[in-house]
Amino acid sequence: MLAALFVLGSFSPAAAQRPRILDVPSVIEFDVCVLPGEACTDRRDVADLVVGARSVQAAITDVRVITGSRTSGEVRSDLGFGPQRVFGPKELLARFEPGARLHVRATNRRGSRELFVQGVEPPGEATGGAAKPPPRP
């Protein structure tokens, strides 16, 4: 009888609403150009970011998933869906100024509207992610 109650309880609507334990945040990297800016020529995907007390728009030009089960397309879709709250050290968040081109490393959960910034650097100096092959002579 107890086993039958357990089985029925695990299929209840309340059980379906429980948070997933295995929803591990993805580590993502993406290149952005904070709008407005003359250097921001590729404006196909624009994300609304809430950085501290400021609201900025950023053109997303490249997305890479470093760890996690999501695809770059899923992450790009999530970033473009509603404003994203950006959290992190003040010295990193201060770099989100109009016209800035940035390479951002952050964590994000599927469907979440929060980004936890781990690193911000100029796009040419990005060190995370997959290693690039050495240049050919």
Residue 73 belongs to a domain: yes
**Dist. CA 98–CA 57, nearest whole Å:** 9
**Which domain does 107 fall in, by range?**
30-123
Residue 48 belongs to a domain: yes
The pLDDT of residue 96:
94
Residue 36 belongs to a domain: yes
pTM passes above 0.85? no
For 71, half-sphere exposure in the C-beta direction (CA atoms, 13 angstrom radius) is: 3
Domain count, the chain: 1
- Three-state SS at 98: coil
Per-block mean pLDDT, blocks of 10 residues, the chain (137 long): 50 55 82 87 86 92 90 87 92 93 92 92 63 48
Residue 97 belongs to a domain: yes
**Looking at the DSSP assignment, which residues form a beta bridge with residue 49?**
56, 84
CA separation, residue 132 to residues 45, 86, 102 (Å): 25, 28, 19
**Dist. CA 100–CA 62, nearest whole Å:** 15
Residue 69 belongs to a domain: yes
The pLDDT of residue 83:
92
